[in-house]
Amino acid sequence: MAQTVGFIGLGIMGKPMARNLIKAGYSLVVYNRTASKAAELVELGARQVESPRAVGAGADVVITIVSDSPEVESVVLGDNGVIEGIAEGGVVVDMSSISPITTQRIAAELKGRGVAMLDAPVSGGEIGAIQGTLSIMVGGEESVFSRVKPILESMGKSVVRVGEVGAGGFAKLSNQIIVAGVLQAVSEAMVLAKKAGVDIQLVYEAIRGGMAGGRTLDMKIPAFVEGKFEPGFKMDLHIKDVKNALLAGKALGVALPSTGLVHELFSSCSAQGKGQKDHSVIFTLLEQLSGLRQVGR
Ligand code: NAP
């Protein structure tokens, strides 16, 4: 019989990841706070339940991918949480991007009940989630990793264990620092070209093969050209990651000066009411600062 996997969080990332697990032959038991988002997966054969606790009771490997640290704490450790349902010997795999310090605290609680935890945040965006080509960075015990790896390989093309629990989260924070910095630089560069009256699509085509080329440039240029910023990856979620990186830097005594600046700029964009837009919407703040766009538009 197909192995049953529990899945909690059917947002932009979670739903296509869950779909890929079904395609790979796993039986799924799913929960989402907004129940209607599970309809498509139920049609594909998933069993929908009414609480994270019921997911825990129905599967010995439970995946979570929700927004941030408090939400993971709530679905795993809270009232009606996974911890109340999952049997000893089970595994919780949190694929959200959260504070690694919180991850380690949750893992310790679970361990006290005989349940293992991996943190396995992802990179590759909605497209990577749909295509099953995510990069997955994993922290946790080697033996637990080996047990769960085939499940993760159904959702990603690169699955790398980087250390003990929490290490996946630190890898993800590093990833998000790089993406934020590159996105900021790409946005500034393209606003300069635009203000100079040069077609930014052509600038992109001219530079993409050189050292400035890369995935962030490839993925975000269409949004700049079309002026459409539907998510994708929500600005408020990226601010959450950059904030978690700054907190980790403070805790460890690591200076992250340009990340601090990017945090201020991204936060200003969110303060304008653009937090639910794609993070590429930072381009519009830079347009405003350069007189290319009315403030607040
Ligand atoms: P999203 O579309 O906003 O989905 C968030 C999910 O979390 C939804 O299922 C939401 O339920 C659930 N949720 C939020 N608060 C909750 C609560 N208090 N209790 C229970 N469930 C709750 O976000 P996403 O883009 O899928 O991102 C999910 C995670 O993946 C985040 O940590 C994000 O940083 C990370 N990530 C995202 C991307 C990307 O490109 N989007 C890439 C890599 C990593 P509802 O449906 O009820 O709102």
CB-based contact 54:85 (threshold 8 Å): yes
Nearest atom, ligand 1, residue 240 CA: 34
- Shared domain check, 145 and 234: no
* 9 Cα to the center of ligand 1, angstroms: 6
Task: Write the DSSP symbol of residue 198.
Answer: -
| CA–CA distance, 111 with 117 (Å, rounded to integer) | 8
47-48 and 4-8 as β-strands: parallel, antiparallel, unpaired?
unpaired
Q: Say whether the peptide bond before residue 232 is cis (omega within 30 degrees of 0).
A: yes
Tell whether ligand 1 has an atom less than 6 A from the beta carbon of residue 243.
no
pLDDT surpasses 80 at 63: yes
- Shared domain check, 56 and 11: yes
In the chain, the number of structural domains is 2
Asked whether residue 244 is domain-assigned, the answer is yes
Instruction: Tell me what pLDDT residue 13 has.
Output: 98
pLDDT surpasses 80 at 1: no
Instruction: Tell me what pLDDT residue 132 has.
Output: 98
The radius of gyration computed from the CA coordinates of the chain, to the nearest angstrom, equals 20
pLDDT grade, residue 295 (50/70/90)? confident
- Shared domain check, 221 and 144: no
* 255 Cα to the center of ligand 1, angstroms: 29
Asked whether residue 106 is domain-assigned, the answer is yes
Asked whether residue 297 is domain-assigned, the answer is no
- Shared domain check, 134 and 274: no
User: Which string of DSSP letters, residue by residue, matches 20-39?
Assistant: HHHHTT-EEEEE-SSGGGGH
For ligand 1, atom 43: residue with the closest CA: 123
Taking residues 104-115, what's their average pLDDT?
Answer: 98
CA dihedral 200, 206, 207, 210 (to 10 degrees): 170
pLDDT surpasses 70 at 52: yes
pTM of the model: 0.95
- Shared domain check, 9 and 137: yes
Q: What is the pLDDT of residues 123-137, one digit of tens each?
A: 999 999 999 999 999
In 3D space, the residue among 70, 64, 71, 72 whose CA is nearest the CA of residue 94 turns out to be 64
Asked whether residue 296 is domain-assigned, the answer is no
Asked whether residue 274 is domain-assigned, the answer is yes
In 3D space, the residue among 189, 287, 188, 274 whose CA is nearest the CA of residue 239 turns out to be 274
**CATH number of the domain where residue 57 is located:** 3.40.50.720
Report angle CA 225, 226, 230 to the nearest 5 degrees: 120
In 3D space, the residue among 110, 117, 162 whose CA is nearest the CA of residue 136 turns out to be 162
Between 184 and 296, where is the model more confident?
Answer: 184
For ligand 1, atom 25: residue with the closest CA: 12
| CA–CA distance, 83 with 76 (Å, rounded to integer) | 6
In this structure, the chain runs to a length of: 297
pLDDT grade, residue 297 (50/70/90)? confident
- Shared domain check, 208 and 146: no
Give 19's contacts (C-beta < 8 A, 6+ positions apart). 40, 41, 44
Taking residues 142-148, what's their average pLDDT?
Answer: 98
Tell whether ligand 1 has an atom less than 6 A from the beta carbon of residue 38.
no
Whole-angstrom CA distances from 260 to 43, 182, 247 are 45, 14, 10
pLDDT surpasses 80 at 296: no
Tell whether ligand 1 has an atom less than 6 A from the beta carbon of residue 147.
no
**CATH number of the domain where residue 270 is located:** 1.10.1040.10
Tell whether ligand 1 has an atom less than 6 A from the beta carbon of residue 17.
no
In 3D space, the residue among 87, 74, 110, 104 whose CA is nearest the CA of residue 170 turns out to be 104
Instruction: Tell me what pLDDT residue 24 has.
Output: 97
- Shared domain check, 146 and 277: no
Tell whether ligand 1 has an atom less than 6 A from the beta carbon of residue 37.
yes
CB-based contact 250:243 (threshold 8 Å): no
pLDDT surpasses 90 at 219: yes
pLDDT grade, residue 210 (50/70/90)? very high
From 53, 229, 237, 240, give the residue whose CB has the most ligand 1 atoms within 8 Å, as the site to mutate: 237
- Shared domain check, 249 and 183: yes
Asked whether residue 26 is domain-assigned, the answer is yes
Report angle CA 4, 171, 175 to the nearest 5 degrees: 110
Instruction: Tell me what pLDDT residue 94 has.
Output: 98
Q: Which amino acid is at 220?
A: K
Rounded (to 5) percent helix, strand, coil in the chain = 55, 15, 30
- Shared domain check, 179 and 112: no
For ligand 1, atom 8: residue with the closest CA: 11
Nearest atom, ligand 1, residue 121 CA: 44
- Shared domain check, 188 and 151: no
Task: Show which of 99, 129, 164 is a domain's final residue.
Answer: 164
What is the overall mean pLDDT for the chain?
97
- Shared domain check, 185 and 45: no
Taking residues 130-156, what's their average pLDDT?
Answer: 98
Task: Show which of 164, 190, 211 is a domain's final residue.
Answer: 164
Percent of the chain with pLDDT over 90: 98
Q: What is the pLDDT of residues 281-290, one digit of tens each?
A: 999 999 999 9
Taking residues 217-238, what's their average pLDDT?
Answer: 97
| CA–CA distance, 144 with 61 (Å, rounded to integer) | 10
Asked whether residue 295 is domain-assigned, the answer is no
Asked whether residue 102 is domain-assigned, the answer is yes
* 122 Cα to the center of ligand 1, angstroms: 12
Instruction: Tell me what pLDDT residue 2 has.
Output: 74
User: What own/partner pairs with CB < 8 Å and gap ≥ 24 does 252-260 have?
Assistant: 256/177, 258/181, 259/177, 259/180, 259/181
Taking residues 80-85, what's their average pLDDT?
Answer: 98
Instruction: Tell me what pLDDT residue 28 has.
Output: 98
Range of the domain at 28: 4-164
Catalytic residue among 23, 37, 111, 172: 172
Taking residues 105-117, what's their average pLDDT?
Answer: 98
- Shared domain check, 104 and 24: yes
* 15 Cα to the center of ligand 1, angstroms: 10
Between 295 and 279, where is the model more confident?
Answer: 279
Task: Show which of 138, 164, 190 is a domain's final residue.
Answer: 164
* 38 Cα to the center of ligand 1, angstroms: 14
